[in-house]
Amino acid sequence: MRFTAFFGAGLALLLLQSNLFRLVLLAEHAISALLMWMHLSNHEVHVPGFLPQLVLPLVVYMGVHEYSLVRGASVAFVLGYFTDLVGIAPVGLYTFTYVATFVLARAAGVRFAAQTRWMQVVLALVFSLVHSVMVVILIAIFWKDRDGWMPRMIAPMALPHVIATSMTAPLVFRLAQRIHLATQGALRDPGAQP
């Protein structure tokens, strides 16, 4: 039940994430218009890569809270596969990196540290940075075009992406905590009579 809820939340976050760029683009245009109106700048504000990855903090939450390795890795695998399908990444890239991130978070086992909002931001920042480095390295290794333009193009976008992900992580952690608490009673007393 818990992993079905995490999977459903992950799919909802993935759909939100896939359309979030429109809101970010609208915010950039609004900030640019405001700065031009105030005569502070004549240039458009554009921060490439400032899009959060909403599914990654959910994967980190499952890993840090030491859920079942097989079930958690399975949820991370399926969410990664759907991320590959929704995005333009090569199939298997996010599938591999989500499972690797889940296993790394599980190995870290810092369940007690994820309770405060600042620690959630730090955890998301660290694991998002590790995830972004994995993605850039894997694209550099396996990209079919060997001149290396793709890794050089996406590497500068990694830091804004990491910052955006860590800023949205407390919201995703709160959602995951609610799922955890809602499914905890069902796991504790499976044979209870209604």
Instruction: Tell me the pLDDT tens digit for each residue of 66-93.
Output: 678 898 899 999 999 998 888 777 788 8
Residue 41 structure tokens: 């700048």
Residue 179 structure tokens: 């799922």
Residue 90 structure tokens: 């090569």
Contact predicate 55/89, CB 8 Å: no
| Each residue's pLDDT tens digit, 90-146 | 788 889 999 999 998 888 775 555 567 788 888 888 899 999 888 888 888 777 666
Residue 83 structure tokens: 């991320």
What domains sit in the chain, N to C, each tagged with a CATH number?
2-186 (1.10.1760)
Range name among 22-26, 54-58, 112-116, 168-172 with the lowest pLDDT average: 112-116
With tokens 């079905």, the residue in question is: 4
Identify the sign of the CA torsion 84, 125, 99, 152: positive
Residue 154 structure tokens: 């996406």
Contact predicate 173/118, CB 8 Å: no
Which value, to the nearest 10 degrees, does the dihedral of the CA atoms of residues 169, 75, 69, 119 take? Answer: 0
**188 pLDDT tier (thresholds 50, 70, 90):** low
Which value, to the nearest 10 degrees, does the dihedral of the CA atoms of residues 172, 176, 182, 186 take? Answer: 160
With tokens 């958690």, the residue in question is: 72
Residue 45 structure tokens: 């504000």
Q: What is the Cα 134 distance to its own chain's centre?
A: 14
**49 pLDDT tier (thresholds 50, 70, 90):** low
Amino acid at 2: R
Residue 122 structure tokens: 């730090």
- pLDDT for the residue 194: 43
CA distance 80 to 2: 18
